[in-house]
């Protein structure tokens, strides 16, 4: 399922001549790696940045410590902030940020359990998707489900623009 979503997304990126870059926390580079394995990835993939620790989000992607403290590193607000912070680092047509909880030890609560992921996509600085999703399974399964979700969101955003 994930592979088909990625292939469809890549084909549309190529057809529309769009480039993409990723800021990844919980997916730790796996999102960028999966896109890099697609045919003609060099035509659409600009790069990715892993910001697993909150200090990297703050120091490199210009997320304010107040935002992290108020909403937690795994939140919609911080995900939007890392997406914006990526823009000056990696120029691209589409910027995507991902944070979340793939395993215990983060900011999980009964209202935000392990498996909660936040995805945000921006085109030309405008948010085209921002969503909280909850997946289940092992950390790897949660990451793979998130990658499929992101591919679908990008595809939908390109079709609806």
Q: How confident is the model at residue 64 (pLDDT cuts 50, 70, 90)?
A: very high
Cβ atoms within 10 Å of 43's Cβ, excluding its own? 13
pLDDT in tens, 3-21: 999 999 999 999 999 999 9
pLDDT above 90 coverage of the chain, percent = 97
How many angstroms separate the Cα of 98 from the Cα of each of 37, 39, 146?
19, 23, 9
pLDDT at 1 over 70: no
Mean pLDDT of the chain: 96
Q: What is the mean pLDDT of residues 97-111?
A: 94
Contact between 119 and 146 (Cβ < 8 Å)? yes
- Strands, DSSP E only, in 25-153? 45-50, 94-100, 116-123, 126-134
| Token pair for 156 | 């939908």
């Amino acid at each position: 399922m994930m592979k088909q979503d990625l292939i469809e997304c890549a084909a549309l990126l190529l057809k529309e001549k769009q480039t993409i870059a990723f800021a990844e926390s919980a997916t730790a580079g796996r999102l960028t790696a999966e896109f890099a394995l697609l045919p003609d990835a060099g035509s659409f993939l600009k790069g990715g940045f892993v910001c697993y620790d909150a200090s990297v989000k703050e120091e490199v992607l210009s997320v304010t410590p107040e935002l992290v403290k108020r909403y937690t590193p795994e939140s919609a607000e911080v995900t939007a902030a890392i997406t914006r912070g990526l823009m000056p680092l990696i120029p691209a047509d589409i910027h995507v940020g991902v944070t979340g909880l793939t395993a215990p030890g983060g900011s999980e609560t009964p209202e935000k359990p392990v498996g909660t992921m936040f995805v945000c996509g921006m085109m030309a600085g405008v948010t085209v998707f921002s969503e909280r999703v909850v997946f289940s399974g092992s950390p790897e399964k949660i990451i793979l489900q998130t990658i499929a979700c992101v591919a679908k969101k990008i595809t939908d955003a390109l079709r609806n623009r």
